[in-house]
Amino acid sequence: MINVIIRTVRIQHPYDDPGERQQAQRLLAINLVWLVAIGLSFLVYSAYDFAVSTATLFFPLSLFIAGLSHWLLQHGQLHQARFLFVLNILAATFLSIFPDYRIDTPFLMVLVLPLVAAGLLLRRRGLLLVTVFLMATVTVGGYLQYATDMEPTSIGSTDRSIQVTILLFDTLITLTAAMLWFFTANMEETLRTRSYLSNLIDVTARTSQTLVGLPTSGEELNHFVEELQEALDLYHIQIFLSDPTSGLPVLQASTGYMGRRLLEEHSLLTPEEDSPINDALRRKDPLVIGERAPEKQRSGFLPATRSQLLLPLRVGELLPFGVLDLHSSKPDDFTPQMLNALVPISHQLAVALYSSQQTTEVRSSYQERDQLIEQIDATQRELARINRQLIGVTWGTYLEDRQHMVPGFEWQQGQVAPSEARSETIDQILADGQARLEQRDGEHVLCVPIRLRGQTLGALEFKRSGQASWSAAALELAQAVAERLALSLENARLFEQAQTTARREQLVSQVTTRLQTTNDLTTLLTLAAEQFQGALGATHTQVRLGQSPSAAPVDDEV
């Protein structure tokens, strides 16, 4: 029972506008009071057995209208409920005084009640209609008094009393209606502004969620401006962004069929072009253009545009990098209150688009970095391959020049002895360069390559008898020793190569010095043959001057 009463006295419909919900709750309370008053009046009339009158017959109808108003309020029909409530009061007041109507009765003052209700609940047109109806009712009812035997009053004769009373009540109704007209106008404007600002706040909240991860172009950005246009009830919305390469503003999003056509054109605005978009890119404050602005400023107007708002898109103190272009089909639609709500939306949009641009640039930088890393890796691999090839050629030449030397050594019983024997394991390591742990002929064998910058120069083989096998630590130690050995071998080769180069340079210098001691051709050739034979260790040296028989003679020009 309590729940039923609570549901009856509270608004159950979820009104979107908080102001409308509050007004519906108040009207519901007044309507319930009216229902109670009508019910009690009907009971009083029935209990005291009053004469049946027009007012008595109206009680059931008034209860029905009040119940219908209650139902409309609970189902979100606030405007219809207002009209029925005023109509109910007007009819009840009218029928309660006219069965025994007299122009001089003080009960005529209750006509102010529906007038006040109309001023508070209806719009100006409704207030005007109720005012005209009441004035006509008083005037017509007053002149009907001429047909009755109305006694003179303190005002004067019957005719004079009727005329003065009509004038008095019409003046009272007019003054009351005028006060309601002017004072409720501000209230209506306040309610409209409140409703509009509430809608803008809701749009701002939804916009902040939509802007997360918004790209700087494409269908998602276009879908955002279409939602914004619908929420703000505007004629057209566009977004211009500066091109990263040229810096010129480019249309990136636009609403409607016309917007699709403009996007297909994808035209650039040159800096010299005297357009509102370029003007907005040079300023920090919003630019409002009305229908009375100079024609040059109205160059961006579309066919149905009557006012335009350009909001620069910038972050902090940076220069604007784009423009939010709003068009309205209403003149002077962009009021200061609307600007106060739209500027934060433009700031949120600017931050989202700027973040998207930065994310795109960072992603592009990462891609360029990855490509550069891949190129560096490829270059390093190529350098490593060339280095290995160079080391292989160098050491191959070095070993070929020393074929007379023993290629290997063995350590046994505390002594090192030359050895030319090579096991199958060593041959495999020289082929693939991979370390091995094996068991062969009852021995545990550990073999590691001697590698220099990826090129295998040789191998180390260790054997152990018995049950003890080589551990992973022993393998790591052997590999470390092999790496150090490879470096030492390379240093020894380089040192030997440096000594050889120094001796060769010294020998060349000596031969050159001896050859420069004579100018005689025969002596020079003899000396050259002797020096070359001694320097190169040859057993026979021959020096011959001459030309190929096939060589054509050259004629000297005089």
What percent of the chain clears pLDDT 70, i.e. is strictly above it? 76
Q: How confident is the model at residue 112 (pLDDT cuts 50, 70, 90)?
A: confident
pLDDT at 212: 59
Evaluate if residue 555 carries a pLDDT over 60: no
pLDDT at 51: 52
Lowest mean pLDDT, pick from 27-31, 79-83, 299-303, 520-524: 520-524
324: left (phi over 0), alpha (psi -120 to 50) or beta: beta
Nearest in space to 315 (alpha carbons), one of 340, 351, 282: 351
Burial class (CB in 10 A: 0-12, 13-18, 19+), 49: exposed
The edge-to-edge listing of strands for the beta sheet with 322-328 is 249-254, 236-242, 322-328, 307-313, 287-290
The arithmetic mean of pLDDT across residues 266-279, rounded, is 68
Compute the distance between CA of residue 263 and CA of residue 253 in angstroms, rounded to an integer.
Answer: 7
Lowest mean pLDDT, pick from 18-22, 410-414, 551-555: 551-555
Tokens (6 digits) for 37 = 């008053």
What percent of the chain clears pLDDT 90, i.e. is strictly above it? 5
Q: Between 507 and 4, where is the model more confident?
A: 507
pLDDT at 327: 92
Compute the distance between CA of residue 172 and CA of residue 282 in angstroms, rounded to an integer.
Answer: 59
Query: Given CA atoms 87, 90, 96, 97 in this order, what sign does their dihedral have?
Result: negative
Amino acid at 169: F
- CB 425 within 8 Å of CB 436: yes
Q: Write the DSSP assignment of 413-432 as a string of letters.
A: TTEEEE-----HHHHHHHHH
pLDDT at 556: 44
Evaluate if residue 49 carries a pLDDT over 60: no
| Domains, the chain, ordered by start | 2-198 (no CATH), 217-361 (3.30.450.40), 409-512 (3.30.450.40)
Lowest mean pLDDT, pick from 338-342, 451-455, 548-552: 548-552
- CB 140 within 8 Å of CB 134: no
Compute the distance between CA of residue 305 and CA of residue 15 in angstroms, rounded to an integer.
Answer: 32
| The residue to which tokens 């209606």 are assigned | 177
Compute the distance between CA of residue 553 and CA of residue 548 in angstroms, rounded to an integer.
Answer: 10
3-state secondary structure of 213: coil
Nearest in space to 277 (alpha carbons), one of 308, 315, 305, 234: 308
Lowest mean pLDDT, pick from 154-168, 212-226, 265-279, 312-326: 154-168
Amino acid at 277: I
- CB 434 within 8 Å of CB 449: yes
Average pLDDT score over the chain? 78
What's the angle, vertex CA 136, arms to CA 130 and CA 142, rounded to 5? 135
Compute the distance between CA of residue 489 and CA of residue 417 in angstroms, rounded to an integer.
Answer: 18
- Kindly state the helix (H) or strand (E) to which residue 301 belongs, with its residue range: none
The arithmetic mean of pLDDT across residues 400-423, rounded, is 72
Evaluate if residue 48 carries a pLDDT over 70: no
pLDDT at 154: 53
Q: Find residue 443's DSSP bridge partners.
A: 440, 465
| The residue to which tokens 């909001």 are assigned | 311
Q: How confident is the model at residue 58 (pLDDT cuts 50, 70, 90)?
A: low
Evaluate if residue 156 carries a pLDDT over 60: no
Q: pLDDT tens digit string along 434-470?
A: 888 888 777 888 898 988 888 888 888 888 887 778 8
3-state secondary structure of 170: helix
Nearest in space to 289 (alpha carbons), one of 308, 306, 265, 274: 308
pLDDT at 211: 60
pLDDT at 397: 82
Choose from 333-347, 473-487, 531-545 the range with maximum mean pLDDT: 473-487
pLDDT at 96: 66
Lowest mean pLDDT, pick from 270-274, 298-302, 407-411: 270-274
Cβ neighbours, 10 Å, residue 461: 18
Q: Find residue 290's DSSP bridge partners.
A: 307
Cβ neighbours, 10 Å, residue 228: 23
- Helix crossing, 158-210 with 112-121: angle to 10°? 20
- CB 433 within 8 Å of CB 441: no
Q: pLDDT tens digit string along 126-148?
A: 888 888 888 887 777 767 666 55
pLDDT at 317: 75
Cα–Cα distances in angstroms (integers) from residue 4 to residues 13, 81, 107, 122, in the given order: 15, 21, 38, 30
pLDDT at 538: 72
pLDDT at 22: 80
Q: Between 99 and 334, where is the model more confident?
A: 334
Q: How confident is the model at residue 557 (pLDDT cuts 50, 70, 90)?
A: very low
Task: Name the DSSP class of 244.
Answer: T
Q: pLDDT tens digit string along 343-398?
A: 888 888 888 888 887 887 888 889 999 999 999 999 988 988 888 888 888 888 87
Evaluate if residue 157 carries a pLDDT over 80: no
Residue 444: φ, ψ to 5° = -95, 120
pLDDT at 71: 87
Evaluate if residue 492 carries a pLDDT over 80: yes
Evaluate if residue 65 carries a pLDDT over 60: yes
Looking at 75-157, list the stretches that DSSP marks H as alpha helix, in order from N- to C-terminal side: 78-97, 112-121, 124-144
Compute the distance between CA of residue 429 and CA of residue 400 in angstroms, rounded to an integer.
Answer: 20
